[in-house]
Structure formats: structure tokens, C-alpha cells
């Protein structure tokens, strides 16, 4: 088993990306297993990121993206 630890901001940015991929399938994969693992990761994160259902989700996502982009989440 592998364990990955993410800061809250990183998890929020990643789950948003994965949901977009799941819904639009715009990311290129080489094998169906890659797509499957991305969907599985999305499902795992959905239960760990309560911000997804908050009314200010877009604001939180923007802030998280800014933090991750500026590398302030260390």
C-alpha cells in the first residue's frame, strides 16, 4: 500500500481537476488502468474534501489554487 499526504489546498485543487477529467474525459491516458486509477483517486478524495459541497466552493478553490501555485502550502 502507498500513502500520499496532501495539504488541504493540494487536495482541493487535485479533486477539482479529477472531477473535470471524470466528467469531460479531456485528459489523455495510454491505458484504461490509468483512467481507472484516476477515477478511484477521485472517489477517495471526494469523501475527504468537504469543501466540495460548501456554498463558497469556487472561492475556496480559487484560494487553494493561489496557495498551491505560489508554493505556500509547504
Q: Which residues contact 61 (CB under 8 A, 6 or more apart)?
A: 12, 13, 16, 51
Query: Each residue of 24-38: pLDDT tens digit?
Result: 767 778 898 988 888
Please report the beta strands in 1-74, taking only residues with DSSP state E, as ranges in sequence order. Answer: none
Place of cell 472517489: 43
Summarised one tens digit per residue, pLDDT across range 48-69 is 888 888 999 999 999 999 999 9
CA 74, CA 54: separation in Å to the nearest integer?
Answer: 25
pLDDT at 74 (0 to 100): 54
- 21 and 27 Cβ atoms separated by less than 8 Å: yes
Q: What are phi and psi of 47, to 5 degrees?
A: -80, -10
pTM score, whole prediction: 0.78
Amino acid at each position: 500500500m502507498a500513502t500520499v499526504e496532501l495539504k488541504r489546498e493540494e487536495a482541493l485543487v487535485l479533486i477539482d481537476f479529477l472531477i473535470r477529467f471524470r466528467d469531460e474525459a479531456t485528459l489523455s491516458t495510454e491505458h484504461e488502468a490509468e483512467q481507472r486509477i484516476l477515477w478511484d483517486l477521485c472517489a477517495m478524495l471526494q469523501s475527504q474534501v468537504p469543501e466540495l459541497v460548501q456554498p463558497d466552493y469556487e472561492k475556496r478553490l480559487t484560494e487553494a489554487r493561489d496557495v498551491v501555485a505560489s508554493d505556500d502550502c509547504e
